[in-house]
Amino acid sequence: MTDLILTLVTDYGVAIVFCVTFLSYLALPVPSSLLMITSGGFAATGDLVLSTVFIAAFTGAVLGDNTGYWIARGLGEKLDSWLDKHPKRAALKSKGAAFMHKRGGSSVFFSCWLVAPLGPYINYISGITKFTWARFALWGILGEIVWVGLFVGLGYTFADNITALSNMLGNASGFITALVAVIGLGWWLMHVAKKSRAAHLAQDTPAPHI
């Protein structure tokens, strides 16, 4: 994979950086992080310009974020009537919208860099739940500044150890994403168990005599 990335950057320069970061935020399986690290390394050797690499990666990421958001928002409009026809689906949509209203900004921000594999799906959820576009765009821009700056900067700083660095960051990102998923599942199971206990207590409580 590293050899392929090196060839792509050599042949296409910052154009491939833009295209791959854009496609990565549509949930396509492309090695955007590795590509940015490699491009940062090329900038360190003088083959690319650091500011141009940053702009290409940042622009692709932001456009990918917003494309995913608006695609999902358009689908969300069509899904509304289908969701509202079933009480459970309607309740799930309502909970999703409430969550995004309360924690949507931080979810978008951290999904851009800390749990980057979840980023495209947070974009789609934001669109489907009609999370405010201005807030989505603002938090997305801030998150992409961190993501692009981190990976391009690390590639630039550790140009001689790109393969080892990319493996380390890939493993760290996968671990953090898995940890967040486990914590989220645990929280959901606790919430379901709590509601179930409350329902059983309500059933077991005798009605007051009048």
The pLDDT tens digits of the residues spanning 100-152 come to 878 888 889 988 888 888 889 889 889 988 899 999 999 999 999 999 998 89
What is the residue whose two structure tokens read 């969300």? 76
**Residue 63 maps to a domain:** yes
The pLDDT tens digits of the residues spanning 2-15 come to 677 778 888 888 99
61 closest CA partner among 105, 113, 127: 113
* Burial of 188 per CB tally in 10 Å (0-12, 13-18, 19+): exposed
> Which range of residues forms the domain containing residue 69?
2-204
| Four-residue CA torsion sign, 53, 54, 55, 56 | positive
Of residues 16 and 185, more confidently modeled = 16
Res 24: pLDDT: 92
**Residue 210 maps to a domain:** no
Rounded to the nearest 10 degrees, what angle do helices 87-113 and 119-128 cross at? 140
The pLDDT tens digits of the residues spanning 54-92 come to 999 999 999 999 999 999 898 877 777 766 677 776 776
Res 168: pLDDT: 54
Res 204: pLDDT: 58
As a whole number, the mean pLDDT across the chain is 79
**Residue 186 maps to a domain:** yes
CA 131 to chain centre: 15
Give how many domains the chain has, as a whole number. 1
The pLDDT tens digits of the residues spanning 157-173 come to 877 666 655 555 555 44
Instruction: Count how many Cα atoms sit within 13 Å of the Cα of residue 128 in the half-sphere of its side chain.
Output: 19
**Residue 209 maps to a domain:** no
Res 176: pLDDT: 46
DSSP string, the chain: -HHHHHHHHHHHTHHHHHHHHHHHTTT----HHHHHHHHHHHHHTTSS-HHHHHHHHHHHHHHHHHHHHHHHHHHHHHHHHHHHTSHHHHHHHHHHHHHHHHHHHHHHHHHHHTTGGGHHHHHHHHHHTT--HHHHHHHHHHHHHHHHHHHHHHHHHTGGGHHHHHHHHHHHHHHHHHHHHHHHHHHHHHHHHHHHHHHHHHHHSPPPP-
Res 103: pLDDT: 82
Res 139: pLDDT: 95
d(CA 83, CA 157): 49
31 closest CA partner among 133, 162, 143: 162
Res 51: pLDDT: 95
